[in-house]
Amino acid sequence: MARRKKEKAPVQADLPENTVFITITADILQETDAAILIRCGEVEDWLPLSQIEFTGTKGDAGVVINLPEWLGDEKGLTDGMGAAPAPTDAEQADASGEDDAATEEPGASVVANDQNWLRQETITVTQELTQAEKVEYAEEMARLDDEIEELETERDRVSKALKKQIDAKEDERRALSKVVREGTETREIFCDLVADYNTCEMVWTDAHPPHEEVRRRKMTAEERQLPLIMNTRPAPADQPADDVADNGEELPEDAPGFDAHDAEVTGNDAPDDGGPDDSDIDPDYPIPVPPMAAHAEAEAVQ
């Protein structure tokens, strides 16, 4: 015959009538003649039997225990602690067979009957990364490393290009500084070179108006030799020559401004006008020497 299980005897506290009680729900882990060891939420502590009221024994779970408020404060227990949460509207609807889903907002969190909902907001918390998130972040780090390397390479290239430009500008500035400091500048000038036999000097003049003199120097011995024919400065490209008509045709000999040349220049023999020739010249008469030739001879003697 099976032994009948001993009935649980209620424990009554011997406290004054004006004592303020709180109620908790806990598991009984151990018991002695004077106290029980309970677990309520995160709290695990001994409660004296003289101060509490409950019905249960060791190993029971979900035991309702009444204890003085001051004892709860001392043990870190609050009224209603450990109790199962009140059923939600959805659970009540399931139990009653009614569907209240239409009255709930999508994504709304469940609020217990003893909680006061205030608002929804985003907060910052620290959470453990999943393995997939670690892999994703590692790949992102590798991509960023590649971009950093490319940017550093581009920075070096741009830096070198800018340095070359800066060096060129500095060279240009140093050249200008030298010109300003010395007051002179080396230039290329398109010139006419003239042999001045009166001063025995080679003279360079600007080929463009106002034809200012650019430089002169003494002639060499070879340059002092007079040419057989003296050259004149050619007419500018935009002006016709004196002996050429505007339409490009050569002017006749009797045209105004035309100078007849000797046979060596024109290629035509001068007409014999019956004048004196070399046989008629007195050998004792001095032959006049052109002044330029005389000056050249004097320079040669010197």
Q: What's the pLDDT score for residue 63?
A: 92
Q: Report the alpha-carbon distance of residue 163 to residue 175 in Å, rounded.
A: 18
Give the SS3 label for residue 39: strand
Structure confidence at residue 160 (pLDDT)? 92
Residues 88-126, buried b or exposed e (16+ Cβ, 10 A)? eeeeebeeeeeeeeeeeeeeeeeeeeeeeeeeeeeeeee
Q: What is the pLDDT of residue 252?
A: 53
The total number of residues written for the chain in this structure: 302
Burial label for 52, CB within 10 Å (0-12, 13-18, 19+), is buried
> Given phi > 0 = left and psi -120 to 50 = alpha, else beta, which region is 172?
alpha
List per-block mean pLDDT (blocks of 10 residues) for the chain, which spans 302 residues.
55 80 92 92 91 90 92 91 70 56 50 76 90 90 94 93 93 90 88 90 91 92 87 69 51 47 42 47 44 50 46
